[in-house]
Amino acid sequence: MSKVLLEVKNLKKYFKTKRGPLHAVDDINFTINKGETLGLVGESGCGKSTTGRVVLRLLEATGGEVLFNGQNMLDFKKKQMAEFRQDAQIVFQDPFASLNPRMSVSEIIKEPLVINKTFDNKADVTKRVKELMDTVGLATRLENAYPHELDGGRRQRIGIARALALNPSFIVQDEPVSALDVSIQAQILNLMDDLQKELKLTYLFISHDLSVIKHVSDNIAIMYLGKIVEMSDYASVFKNPLHPYTKALLSAIPVPSVDVKRERIILEGDVPSPINPPPGCRFYGRCYERLDKCKDNTPELIEVSKGRWCACHVVNK
């Protein structure tokens, strides 16, 4: 029995613009094993949230494959997609914008149960809603409250409860704590960690915050301008980063000690346009370790050692 739940092969997503196709996701590959978390990290605009949406087919892919339990989800017909929707869910970044302001807490959580006709009677639906509220730490007294009456942490718990309603095996976490206060972030992260262990969930966790990614991930993929530049287990990435971009990202993490001195890598230049990406390495214009061949030759993501992948001519020379 395969341990791989999700396998992404040569995935592409281009958006049509007046100036030409915008290369949001450009030929990426990764796998996620059952019960594990892949942290997808990068700057704003690098394509990580688009990746999460294409993987769930909230956006249609331009090319490539998304294998879910060995089947290409991009080829699913209506009935297969309905079954897939029950097995794969998403928790959005903004816990207020993702909730219907005209529905109460209980109505929001029970909506997927009603749409999918999970239960035959209202009593079972009500019971399931209360179970879900208890699971995510929402008091029963809040069942008739509306999103605007609650704080950000409680709103995000509603989103998590809604995502869990149909007993999925895979959840995309699209920056689920970036809009929350730091103290609330820790509560939500611990909740999701506990739920993963209890319910044997698999996560694609998207974030721009490496300290959060380190806390939640088994493996990490670093994304830059639509491409994955480095991928490995979290310990290897933090102890010995390979790609110059990864090194720059790690150097930006604040260290809570005045005694620790760390060289700060300042990247110069601007991120190239995804509408007209440059030939060769897309990080070339900002790279402090670049070689002449980096300008015109696109580096491939190759396995440089067991479990460690990097797309860099400097590393792979």
pLDDT for the residue numbered 258: 65
pLDDT for the residue numbered 270: 82
| pLDDT over threshold 70, residue 2 | no
| Burial profile 37-68: b = 16 or more Cβ within 10 angstroms, e = fewer | bbbbbbeeebbbbbbbbbbbbebebbebbbbb
pLDDT for the residue numbered 307: 87
Distances (CA, A) of 4 to 7, 169, 202, 223, 307: 7, 12, 10, 21, 15
| pLDDT over threshold 90, residue 263 | no
| pLDDT over threshold 60, residue 1 | no
Give me the mean pLDDT over the 94-121 stretch.
Answer: 92
CB 110 within 8 A of CB 120: no
- Kindly report the backbone phi and psi dihedral angles of residue 270, in degrees, each rounded to the nearest multiple of 5, phi listed first: -110, 155
User: What is the model's pTM?
Assistant: 0.91
Which of the four pLDDT bands, split at 50, 70 and 90, describes residue 173? Answer: very high
pLDDT for the residue numbered 157: 93
| pLDDT over threshold 60, residue 299 | yes
Tens of pLDDT, residue by residue over 56-87, are: 999 999 999 999 999 999 999 999 999 999 99
Distances (CA, A) of 311 to 4, 5, 36, 54, 297: 23, 24, 23, 22, 11
Give me the mean pLDDT over the 287-316 stretch.
Answer: 90
pLDDT for the residue numbered 191: 92
Which of the four pLDDT bands, split at 50, 70 and 90, describes residue 149? Answer: very high
CB 261 within 8 A of CB 249: no
| pLDDT over threshold 90, residue 309 | yes
What is the chain's mean pLDDT, rounded?
91
Distance CA 104, CA 148 (A): 10
Which sign does the torsion angle of CA 10, 2, 210, 314 carry? negative
The highest-confidence range among 93-97, 110-114, 258-262, 284-288, by mean pLDDT, is 110-114
| pLDDT over threshold 90, residue 129 | yes
- In the chain, what is the straight-line distance between the N-terminal and C-terminal CA atoms, in Å? 37
